[in-house]
Amino acid sequence: MTDDGIELDFSERNTRCFANRIGNVRVGISLQPVLGGPCYVWRNEILHTEYTPFKLHNAPQGGLIVHNTSIRRGVPLVVWSGEPVRDSWFRNNLFVGTEAQAADWTSPAVNCDLDYNGYCPGTGVFNLGNARYASLGAAARAGWEGNGRAVAWPVFESSVVLPEQPQQSMTIVPLELRADSQAVDVAQRLPNLNIPFVGAGPDLGARERGAPAPWYGPRPLADHNGVNE
């Protein structure tokens, strides 16, 4: 797609976008804008965006962006807008890219809370608003991502191959975490969002390792005995 995989634009409150797989798009999910919220963006897989996994333009408010996995060529998380993002909450997301810089977020972040997110490789600078931090650790000392972490490659059981050019399509693969991934068992526990979990703690990203794989695409109908029709 040449623009957004899913648009929540101009929604007001209690909108929900969950359990989707989006691939080969310019933007994954658009909140351009959300007018107050809450707007739940939860457990989505977003593969190969030319621009950003989440379009936070036109001063959105009230996004709750939790337990998503995104993969893109370049900086893992980008938000390029001069208008503020307000009252939004980011938890337990896994942002995967090909550059060391963890984030390039140019918008002012007003009353926003980013924590417990994973950035792969995430070993470089962290830009947020008008501030540039030398590392995730420096951002944490300034009040951002106090429990955020760099996640080393490899991350997934499947081999992930990103195209060299954004116009080329990526082969979509399952994004189950490897047993030795640094994203396993390190997420924040969130009632109603990731409890119960498998293992010592919930995992970062859209999939909980050891849990049933999500069903993407049309769902078969079932009769009252549970037999597919």
Q: What is the pLDDT of residue 229?
A: 43
Count the Cβ atoms, other than its own, within 10 Å of residue 73.
Answer: 16
Kindly list the domain boundaries of the chain, sorted by start residue: 1-229
Whole-number Å distance between alpha carbons of 157 and 120: 15
Using alpha carbons, list the distances in angstroms from residue 209 to 21, 66, 142, 173: 17, 16, 32, 15
Whole-number Å distance between alpha carbons of 77 and 17: 19
What DSSP character marks residue 45? E
β-bridge partners, 66: 42, 91
Helices (H) and strands (E) in the chain, counts: 1, 20
The predicted model gives 56-78 an average pLDDT of: 97
Q: What is the pLDDT of residue 225?
A: 54
Whole-number Å distance between alpha carbons of 141 and 130: 16
Q: What is the pLDDT of residue 223?
A: 56
Q: What is the mean pLDDT of the chain?
A: 94
Cα atoms found within 13 Å of the Cα of residue 221, Cβ hemisphere only: 2
* pLDDT tens digits, one per residue of 141-194: 999 999 999 999 999 999 999 999 888 999 999 999 999 999 999 999 999 999
What CA dihedral angle connects 175, 179, 184 and 189, to 10 degrees? 100
Whole-number Å distance between alpha carbons of 4 and 149: 28
Q: Where is pLDDT greater, at 217 or 127?
A: 127
pLDDT band at 222; cut points 50, 70, 90: low
Contact by Cβ (8 Å): 118, 183: yes
pTM of the model: 0.94
The predicted model gives 6-15 an average pLDDT of: 95
Whole-number Å distance between alpha carbons of 138 and 79: 20
How many percent of the chain have pLDDT more than 90? 89
Q: Where is pLDDT greater, at 130 or 23?
A: 23
pLDDT band at 224; cut points 50, 70, 90: low
The predicted model gives 65-70 an average pLDDT of: 98
The predicted model gives 66-71 an average pLDDT of: 98
Token code pair at residue 16: 């929900």
Closest listed residue to residue 151, CA positions, set 130, 132, 123, 110: 123
pLDDT band at 79; cut points 50, 70, 90: very high
* pLDDT tens digits, one per residue of 21-47: 999 999 999 999 999 999 999 999 999
pLDDT above 50: residue 105: yes
Quick one: 128 exposed, middle or buried, by C-beta within 10 A (0-12, 13-18, 19+)?
buried
pLDDT above 70: residue 126: yes
Using alpha carbons, list the distances in angstroms from residue 3 to 15, 52, 68: 21, 10, 19
